[in-house]
């Protein structure tokens, strides 16, 4: 086992988040911003707080103007944070997303509305481009009074002009996908869900956005396994690691449910192909995968997709050079659908999420924890 976990301060407003960048981001100061998320009743929250990595304590900041969940948080080059889209208000179905966006000023600790997106969306990807603009792609929209649908559309936010402009649509509609910047400035978008009838199907299709020459999407290699609620992590050699998630019809394993994937795979931009990577010890989705300073990847928490009854305390580390997984100890509070971010000193902070969900009782993880490699 390598590394150690320590308990840090309690999060001021317990919450849970679903996808890669919907709750927490590291600021230029080294502090960490937590904004929005989901409460126990699946309602959107507006609470905002900052984590001080020196003291290990959280400090309340000004609330979002619009409470939101399944939104995106993106650190801009000027140090502000862009919150875009998401689902607002209490739980209901279908879930109407918002087009609103707002900017967080770390100096004042307050949010200011900015120009809304051209299209309301939630569970989308948001990626900072090399020129400082932000690419938002896909997500879920309200198709009719009683149905939600996945989006192909994409748009770009210009922080200087504070405007959104349409980008070329993706090849495939998708929600809950993951995105990662490539070394050459392009953006890889991977997997996700597509609405089918009253449910969802997982996607293996992947595509790349090239911001040069007006911006174009190009299909690239298909994953070995369709997956959603997975994680995507850039590696030092330029490849990208996809871990876990879920896929319909996976065989039942001896420990965890059969819908949660233990498999991992790596994308190589130079060939445009995926190759199998070493599988995790067991399947997990709704987890987090964070790069460590030495190039390894810390995978934390998660749950089984079939029951989603409890969050895992287990944490593991992938070494892309040795191509092995090793144990990294256990969390004090098992958790899933939480937030995680690398701190400036190489440690990793996790916060929020749920530890238990049953028909009679639900528990949100209130304490945050820090991993020291």
Give residue 91's pLDDT: 78
Interatomic CA distance for residues 176 and 292, integer angstroms: 24
Q: pLDDT at position 308, please?
A: 62
Q: Is the pLDDT assigned to residue 253 strictly greater than 70?
A: no
Closest of 163, 181, 173 to residue 201, by C-alpha: 173
pLDDT-derived band at 99 (thresholds 50, 70, 90) equals: very high
Higher pLDDT, residue 39 or 342: 342
**pLDDT, position 17:** 67
Residue ranges and CATH numbers for the domains of the chain are 4-372 (2.120.10.80)
The 10s digit of each residue's pLDDT in 287-313 is 999 999 999 999 999 988 666 678 999
Q: Using only the alpha carbons of the chain, give its radius of gyration.
A: 19
Beta strand pairing call for 125-128 and 134-137: antiparallel
pLDDT at 20: 52
pLDDT of residue 39: 86
Task: Report the half-sphere exposure of 68 (CA within 13 A, side-chain side).
Answer: 30
Question: What's the maximum distance between 2 C-alpha atoms anywhere in the chain?
Answer: 55
Calculate mean pLDDT across residues 258-273: 92
Global confidence as pTM: 0.94
Starting at the edge strand that comes first in sequence, how are the strands of the sheet with 312-319 ordered? 288-291, 297-300, 312-319, 324-335
Lowest mean pLDDT among 52-66, 121-135, 268-282, 346-360: 346-360
Q: Do the Cβ atoms of 250 and 260 come closer than 8 Å?
A: yes
What is the share, in percent, of the chain residues with pLDDT greater than 90? 76
Give the whole-angstrom CA distance, residue 272 versus residue 252. Answer: 31
Report whether 114 contacts 105 (CB < 8 A). Answer: no
Instruction: Compute the distance between CA of residue 149 and CA of residue 139 in angstroms, rounded to an integer.
Output: 8
Task: Give me the chain's average pLDDT, please.
Answer: 91
Q: Per-residue pLDDT tens for 24-44?
A: 999 999 999 999 998 888 889
Distances (CA, A) of 355 to 118, 134, 335: 36, 33, 4
At 153-212, the pLDDT tens digits run 999 999 999 999 999 999 999 999 999 999 999 999 999 999 877 677 899 999 999 999
State residue 255's pLDDT score: 40
Give bridge partners of residue 56 from the DSSP assignment: none
| Geometric angle at alpha carbon 290, from 230 and 299, rounded to 5° | 60
**Residue 332, CA distances (Å) to 301, 342, 355, 367 in order:** 11, 19, 10, 9
What is the percent of the chain where pLDDT is above 70?
91
Tokens (6 digits) for 170:
């993706």
User: Is 212 in a helix, a strand, or coil?
Assistant: helix
User: Residue 254: pLDDT above 60?
Assistant: no
The predicted pLDDT at position 96 comes to 87
Q: Is residue 131 scored above 50 in pLDDT? A: yes
Model pLDDT, residue 12: 87
Cβ–Cβ < 8 Å for 347, 371? yes
Q: What is the mean pLDDT of residues 77-85?
A: 98
Confidence of residue 332 (pLDDT cuts 50, 70, 90): very high
Distance CA(124)–CA(187), nearest Å, equals 14
What is the reported pLDDT for 144? 66
Q: How large is the average pLDDT for residues 52-72? A: 97
């Amino acid at each position: 086992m390598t590394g150690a976990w320590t308990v840090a301060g309690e999060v001021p407003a317990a919450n849970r988040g679903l996808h890669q960048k919907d709750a927490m981001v590291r600021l230029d100061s080294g502090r960490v911003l937590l904004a929005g998320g989901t409460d126990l009743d699946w309602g959107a929250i507006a609470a905002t707080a900052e984590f001080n990595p020196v003291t290990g304590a959280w400090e309340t900041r000004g609330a979002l103007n619009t409470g939101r969940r399944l939104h995106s948080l993106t650190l801009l080059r000027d140090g502000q944070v862009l919150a875009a889209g998401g689902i607002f208000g209490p739980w209901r179905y279908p879930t109407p997303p918002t087009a609103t966006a707002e900017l967080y000023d770390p100096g004042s600790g307050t949010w200011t509305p900015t120009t809304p997106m051209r299209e309301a969306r939630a569970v989308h990807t948001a990626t900072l481009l090399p020129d400082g603009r932000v690419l938002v792609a896909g997500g879920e929209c309200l198709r009719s009074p009683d149905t939600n649908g996945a989006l192909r559309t994409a748009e770009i936010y210009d922080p200087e002009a504070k405007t959104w402009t349409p980008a070329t649509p993706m090849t495939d509609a998708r929600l809950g996908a993951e995105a990662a910047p490539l070394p050459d400035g392009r953006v890889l978008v991977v997997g996700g869900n597509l609405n089918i009838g009253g449910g969802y199907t997982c996607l293996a299709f992947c595509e790349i956005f090239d911001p040069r020459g007006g911006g174009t999407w190009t299909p690239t290699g298909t994953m070995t396994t369709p997956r959603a609620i997975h994680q995507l992590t850039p590696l030092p050699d330029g490849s990208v690691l996809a871990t876990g998630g879920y896929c319909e019809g996976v065989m039942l394993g001896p420990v965890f449910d059969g819908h949660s994937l233990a498999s991992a795979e790596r994308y190589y931009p130079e060939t445009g192909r995926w190759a199998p990577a070493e599988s995790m010890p067991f399947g997990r989705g709704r987890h987090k995968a964070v790069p460590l300073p030495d190039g390894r990847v810390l995978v934390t928490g998660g749950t089984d997709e079939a029951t989603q009854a409890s969050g895992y305390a287990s944490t593991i580390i992938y070494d892309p050079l040795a191509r092995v997984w090793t144990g990294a100890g256990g969390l004090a509070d098992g958790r899933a659908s939480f937030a995680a971010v690398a701190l400036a000193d190489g440690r990793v902070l996790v916060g929020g999420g749920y530890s238990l969900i049953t028909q009679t009782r639900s528990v949100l993880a209130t304490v945050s924890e820090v991993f020291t490699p």
